[in-house]
Amino acid sequence: MLGSAIYRVLSADSNNTILTASHKELDLTIQKQVYEFFGDQKIQQVYLAAAKAGGIFANNNFPADFIYNNLMIQANVIHASFLNNVKKLLFIGSSCIYPKFANQPITETSLLSGYLEPTNEPYSIAKIAGIKICESYNRQYGEKYGIDYRSITPTNLYGPGDNYLSVESHVIPALIKKFHEAKINNSSKVEVWGSGKVKREFMYVDDCAKGAIFVNNLERRQLDALTSKMCSHINIGTGSDLSIRELSEIIKNLTGFNGKISYDESKPDGTPRKLLDSKLINDLGWRPEISLEEGLKKTYSDFLENYV
């Protein structure tokens, strides 16, 4: 989803020549394929948005898949970039890298300061590893070879191209699909996982894509002034959050469902709250543009056009 959004934004500039490959053409978990792909191309910059991602159910039930696939993708792409003289790379992290009970809003320095949320710990560890790979390559090879590998930590994303598969989807696409199908089937009730009390921050994916490109294009001195060699990632968020109950009501009204909402408290809630402190990127001059209400309308329109 985010990779497609980055592609859309970069494609608007005719000066950019963008190289992509589908999963069928290139399996990023297979080192030989990745090395051959990079060896055949003359790549100047890499946006590493590829990942195996999913919601609570998928993370909780397929932990080996999440840690293996993500570690392989990251290690293969970053090392292949280095071997083929790619000077600039941007790694896309995740807000789940932070401890389950981190102080709110969560600053970049909260990384590795406490225990992770158990339901997505394997994915979180893989994403932390990706950030640390970038930092380690910068520390060892930055001055000698002129490489500049950066990382961002986006908040929860949603928008066009999201995953609506029931067992793999994140909360917004899951709720959109549930409420829409309940309306079509004249159901009297929609069941939502968890208590609904936990709070989450959400960003429209095109905003995040613009934020990623903004960070990648910053002068090195600007980034160095606000980060350190071993805490170099930048949070990208909206600065506000809401409860899953509030979100459910918004999506219920958006889809036109008239029934009731029930909450299954036997299902996991995940981290109680996960609001990012985005002061660093705000101080650098960037802020998101699309409100949650506008973004959800765009997302539901995309769902109706492409998934129904």
Q: Which residues are catalytic?
A: 123
Secondary structure element (H or E) that encloses residue 207, with its range:
helix 205-217
**Contact call for residues 49 and 3 (beta carbons, < 8 A):** yes
Sign of CA dihedral 234, 236, 238, 240: negative
Residue 277, classed as helix, strand or coil, is coil
C-alpha R_g of the chain: 19
Q: Which residue has the tokens 């990208």?
A: 236
Secondary structure element (H or E) that encloses residue 243, with its range:
strand 242-243
DSSP-derived secondary structure letter, 188: S
CA distance readout (Å), 210 to 9, 32, 294, 296: 7, 32, 17, 18
Supply 265's token pair: 């408290």
**Contact call for residues 119 and 194 (beta carbons, < 8 A):** no
Residue 254's nearest CA partner among 173, 188, 185 is 173
Pairwise CA distance, residues 122 & 302, whole Å: 31
